Amino acid sequence: MAPHADEAHDLDTAAPEQKCLGLSQVRRCEDLNGHSLSNGHSNGYSNGNGCSNGHGRLNGHYTNGHHNGNGVHCTNGNGARTSNGNSVHNGNNNDQGIDSETASIASNWDAATVVDMPVPRNLPRPGDYIEFPQLKHKQGAPLNRWSHFMTRDNDSPGAQSMLYSQIQNWEKTKNAPQVGIATVWWEGNPCNSHLRELGDLVRKAVWEEGMIGWQYGTIGVSDGITMGSEGMRFSLQSRELIADNIETITCAQRHDANISIPGCDKNMPGVVIAAARHNRPFLMIYGGTIRKGYSELAGKEINITTCYEARGALASGNLKPCEEHKNATPEQVLEDIKTHSCPGPGACGGMYTANTMAVAIEAMGLTLPGSSSHPAKSPEKMRECERAASTIKMLMEKDIRARDLMTRAAFENAVKITILMGGSTNAVLHLLAMASSADVPLTLEDIDAISQRTPLLANMKPFGDYLMEDLNKIGGTPSVLKFLIQAGYIDGSILTVTGKTLWENVADKPSLEFGPDKQAIIRPLHDPIKTSGHIRVLKGNLAPGGAVAKITGKEGEEFIGSARCFDKEHELDRALRTDMKLRTTKENIVLIVRYEGPKGGPGMPEQLNASAFLQGADMANFALVTDGRYSGASHGFIVGHVVPEAVVGGPIALVKDGDVIKIDAVENRIDIIEIPGVGKGEEVVRRELEKRRREWKRPPVRPLRGTLAKYARLVGDASHGAVTDLPVKSESLEW
Ligand SMILES: CC[C@@](C)(O)[C@@H](O)C(=O)O
């Protein structure tokens, strides 16, 4: 069937980085947020007013008179509110790629009366994605901007018949907007097992708003369950598959909006990457954290990490029962820990990867307030699901799309809160990947620069004492955001899914209190855990393309030791279990685990088994270096994401047992500084590595077929987020 005339060539052609959309005309702006994209990280800190940071940020001309009733006036105490002054009168013109016929369909939709909406538009580059004329922006009705091409007139009777069979109501089939509800549901993982129930709540609320809610599932992989096995190789690629899955359904089925409900680590970046690609009105509902567990035999609160660390403790004779149960064997203690670590549904409870990503995405404004800290099983989580329906409808009415919120300032918030909260190293990969999908410039160097000037404040696990459930009790992420906006670390002026600014979302939340007898989870600014970030981007002759370390300071800031190399994680695992000489050495050892990168693994597996073993066995004289990655639960002197990875001939492939390696988390370097029998110093090492490179042969790469083989062929390096959907520079792409 020939496309509708208005479906064919009705696209806006302005370059995305120049776009800022007024509604009845395309306006060109320097950038998306009133400051230059290229120097975005020089954001500086706001003046504590929590709303304006003096960058002319767009923060609040979103008036539609109904639904959110926000009237958005900044409530930051000083009334500061900035606008870039580009308010554009929308009027009722019909030049946005939606014909008059469609407009009449829209009349059922109580057209919004938006008059002034300087939303920072971040449209994809024309040609990057399958194009729909509805790429044109328009406030108010119709809300079925994408789906009406199937449901109007008689062009698609087959589609209409099939849709009607599910809806049983012609009025709705023809006119109601269609909201995709993507749940990363599957029942084998506590992080995901409850998501369909949450999806059902959302679906019901969407229908009650007069819209159609289509719930569907995506794939998911559990890091916790696959940890240490070949299955773990599928974990990182599941992020890409989730993104592909949601992009496919949203675009193929022409959904008018998307609500995604992820739970486990890769789920969150996966749904956000999808949102940047389909660029429909979007919001994310995080599945929520698990409750903490308790082991009677160990006599302490426990969580999933306790299981992994108990393994090392068992092997080294450190796993002991508490006094009250002193007759229990170590095996019984382990059994009790395993039984009680996961007391219900929800994602792993510390500031591990899932909670890190959820907090980061909330700080970007892509969730309702509190989404990242509401526990999986809580009335707050249920209310959030119900509220999602009216929120998405409001976003559709205002035509605020995913990329409009995915600005440079939003990404900076995400990086900063990851550091302030002691988040997972995986956030580096995921934020780079998410930014890449939204065409927002964000580099490893930007993350490093932010980390250098951002303190670590949260006393949360893995290295600290508290879990997300504890944080929720003191006000959760909204109270933390309120504090951090007031402190000037987080930009409160970004637009969020509520149609209000981040500051407006949290201004009336409880304030954190500091001092004796108050909370001990978030440290005051004058007493941080570390004055700069725990996430360190290292470079040096071992990782010329970058590496990412997690250094909280507890483990020291410098490590010098002799290399002990392992090709693949299972070799190290075997050595840790069986090589008593290695385990009992008093020498400083740098364990190198290679051929575990995105391509070489393939799949860049998380190496929690090794890091937890070292913790559980108190092996503080060991550092770990890998081209793979770590769990959010990993801590100790750990360096991952080494680029270039071994399989492409990176220097990590050339290290030999005994080489002396220095990791310097102050100067942010990782170098081979001495080669026994050859000599010391930069030049000597460089020449020796050149010699070894000539002798190096790439080991056979497996597998050759199937999803991981496809992944290995497509995936980029970790310093660029390990993405499979790399930005294409020109149309002359070689196939
Ligand atoms: C056991 C599962 C974890 C904690 O490893 C993973 O979720 C992560 O944080 O990376």
The packing angle between helices 408-420 and 353-363, to 10°, is 140
Confirm if 414 and 431 have CB atoms less than 8 A apart. Answer: yes
- Three-state DSSP class for residue 460: strand
Q: Ligand 1 centre and the CA of 371: distance in Å?
A: 19
| pLDDT, mean of residues 12-25 | 30
Task: Name which residue leads in pLDDT, 69 or 356.
Answer: 356
Question: Is 170 strand, coil or helix?
Answer: helix
Phi-psi map region of 534: left, alpha, beta (phi>0 left; psi -120 to 50 alpha): alpha
Q: Are 659 and 675 in contact (CB under 8 A)?
A: yes
pLDDT band at 118 (very low <50, low <70, confident <90, very high): low
Ligand 1 centre to CA of 305 (Å) is 8
User: Which amino acid would we find at residue 208?
Assistant: E
What per-residue confidence (pLDDT) applies to 728? 78
Query: Which of 304, 461, 641 is the best mutation target for the ligand 1 pocket, counting ligand atoms within 8 Å of the beta carbon and taking the most?
Result: 304
Alpha helices, DSSP H, located in 47-138 = 100-106
> Can you read off the two tokens belonging to residue 609?
């088994």
Q: What pLDDT band is residue 137 in, cutting at 50, 70 and 90?
A: low
Q: CA 468, CA 356: separation in Å to the nearest integer?
A: 10
Question: Which H or E run includes 594?
Answer: strand 589-594
Task: Specify the higher pLDDT residue, 4 or 382.
Answer: 382
Determine contact, residues 264/238, Cβ cutoff 8 Å: no
Name the CATH superfamily, with its identifier, for domain 536-714: IlvD/EDD C-terminal domain-like (3.50.30.80)
> With contact defined as beta carbons under 8 Å apart, do 179 and 259 qualify?
yes
Q: How far is the CA of 340 from the centre of ligand 1 (A)?
A: 17
Q: What is the spatial distance between Cα 696 and Cα 567, in angstroms, rounded to a whole number?
A: 14
Q: Is 631 a residue of the active site?
A: yes
Atom of ligand 1 nearest to the CA of 632: 9
Q: Report CA torsion sign: 714, 720, 722, 726.
A: negative
Report in angstroms the alpha-carbon separations of 610 from 593, 628, 635.
10, 12, 10
Domain ranges within the chain, ordered by starting residue: 177-291+346-505, 293-341, 536-714
pLDDT of 87 higher than 90: no
Short-list 623, 627, 629, 628, CA closest to 661: 623
Q: What share of the chain is helix, strand, coil (3-state, %, to 5)?
A: 35, 15, 50
Which residue's CA is the closest to the ligand 1 atom numbered 10?
631
Instruction: Write the pLDDT tens digit of every residue in 452-490.
Output: 999 999 999 999 999 999 999 999 999 999 999 999 999
Q: Alpha-carbon distance 356 to 416, whole Å?
A: 11
DSSP code per residue over 658-689? T-EEEEETTTTEEEEEEETTTEESHHHHHHHH
Nearest-CA neighbor of 434 among 725, 128, 125, 222?
A: 725
Residues lining ligand 1, judged by CB closer than 6 Å? 223-224, 227, 265, 304, 348, 352-354, 424, 426, 606, 608, 631-633
Distance CA 452, CA 535 (A): 9
Q: Which amino acid is at 734?
A: E
Task: Give the residue, 92 or 494, on which the prediction is more confident.
Answer: 494
CA atoms within 13 A on the CB side of 552: 23
Q: Is the pLDDT of residue 735 over 90?
A: no
| From 22-26, 114-118, 700-704, the region with the lowest mean pLDDT | 22-26
**pLDDT score of 116 more than 70:** no
Confidence check on the interface: ipTM exceeds 0.95, yes or no: yes
How many A from CA of 269 to the centre of ligand 1?
A: 15
Provide the terminal-to-terminal Cα distance of the chain, rounded to the nearest Å.
Answer: 28
Give the chain's length: 735
Are the C-beta atoms of 526 and 420 separated by less than 8 Å? no
DSSP single-letter state for residue 531: S
Report how far ligand 1's centroid is from the alpha carbon of 356 (Å).
10
Q: Which residues contact 67 (CB under 8 A, 6 or more apart)?
A: 390, 393, 394, 397
Helical (H) or strand (E) element with 237? helix 235-252
Among 148-157, 232-241, 355-364, 585-594, the minimum mean pLDDT is found in: 148-157
Amino acid at the residue 322: C
* Substitution candidate for ligand 1 out of 631, 634, 635, 638 with most atoms within 8 A of CB: 631
- Write the pLDDT tens digit of every residue in 525-575: 999 999 999 999 999 999 999 999 999 988 889 999 999 999 999 999 999
Residues 492 and 619: their CA atoms lie apart, in Å, by 43
pLDDT at 53 over 80: no
Compute the distance between CA of residue 361 and CA of residue 648 in angstroms, rounded to an integer.
33
pTM of the model: 0.86
Lowest average pLDDT, out of 37-41, 189-193, 223-227, goes to: 37-41
Q: What pLDDT score does 133 carry?
A: 63
Kindly tell me if the per-residue pLDDT of 136 is higher than 80.
no
Atom of ligand 1 nearest to the CA of 630: 10
Rounded to an integer, what distance in angstroms lies between the CA atom of residue 322 and that of residue 286?
36
> Which ligand 1 atom sits closest to the C-alpha of 347?
7
Which residue type sits at 376? A
CA of 1 to the centre of ligand 1 (A): 48
Q: How far apart are the C-alpha atoms of 127 and 346, rounded to whole Å? A: 39
Give percent above pLDDT 70 in the chain. 82
CA pair distance 20, 14, nearest whole angstrom = 10
Which pLDDT tens digit goes with each residue over 21-43? Answer: 332 222 222 232 333 333 333 33
* Token pair in block for residue 92: 């009722």
pLDDT in the model for residue 131? 77
Tokens describing residue 393: 């409808």
Average pLDDT, the chain: 85
Q: What is the CATH number of domain 177-291+346-505?
A: 3.40.50.2300
Counting ligand 1 atoms within 8 A of each CB, the residue from 463, 569, 606 with the most, and so the one to mutate, is 606
Chain segment 350-376, per-residue pLDDT in tens:
999 999 999 999 999 999 999 999 999
Coil vs helix vs strand at 438: coil
Q: Per-residue b/e over 509-543, b at no fewer than 16 CB within 10 Å?
A: beebeeeeeebebbbeeeebbbebbbbbbbbbbbb
Our mutation pick for probing the ligand 1 site, out of 268, 309, 353, 611, counting the most ligand atoms within 8 A of Cβ, is 353
Tell which wins on pLDDT, 311 or 650.
Answer: 650
Helix (H) or strand (E) holding 642: strand 638-643
Q: Which atom of ligand 1 is nearest to the CA of 308?
A: 1
Rounded distance from Cα 591 to ligand 1 centre (Å): 21
For residue 36, what are the contacts with CB-CB under 8 A and spacing of at least 6? 30
Instruction: Give 354 Cα–ligand 1 centroid separation in angstroms.
Output: 7
Decide: residue 100, CB within 10 A, 0-12 exposed, 13-18 middle, 19+ buried: exposed
Confidence of residue 106 (pLDDT cuts 50, 70, 90): very low
Nearest CA-CA partner of 280 in 309, 303, 256: 256
Query: Would you give the DSSP letter of residue 215?
Result: E
> pLDDT, tens digit, for every residue of 394-414?
999 999 999 999 999 999 999
Residue 543: its H or E element: strand 543-550
Which is catalytic among the residues 631, 634, 719, 732?
Answer: 631
Q: Is 550 helix (H, G, I), strand (E, B) or coil?
A: strand
Rounded Cα distance between 475 and 493, Å, is: 21
Q: How far is CA 220 from the centre of its chain?
A: 15
The model's pLDDT over 713-722, given as tens digits with 9 standing for 90+, comes to: 999 999 999 9
The closest-lying atom of ligand 1 relative to the alpha carbon of residue 426 is 10
Please enumerate in sequence order all residues whose Cβ is within 8 A of that of 303, keeping only pairs 6 or more positions apart, or say none.
290, 292, 293, 341, 348, 349, 350, 461, 467
698 with 647: CB under 8 angstroms?
Answer: yes
Say how far apart CA 701 and CA 712 lie, in whole Å: 9
Q: How far apart are CA 29 and CA 25, in angstroms?
A: 12
Q: Which of 304, 608, 606, 636 is CA-nearest to residue 467?
A: 304
Concatenate the DSSP letters of all residues of 428-486 into one string.
HHHHHHHHHHTT----HHHHHHHHHT--B-B-BTTTSSB-HHHHHHTTHHHHHHHHHHH
Cβ atoms of residues 725 and 240 within 8 Å: yes
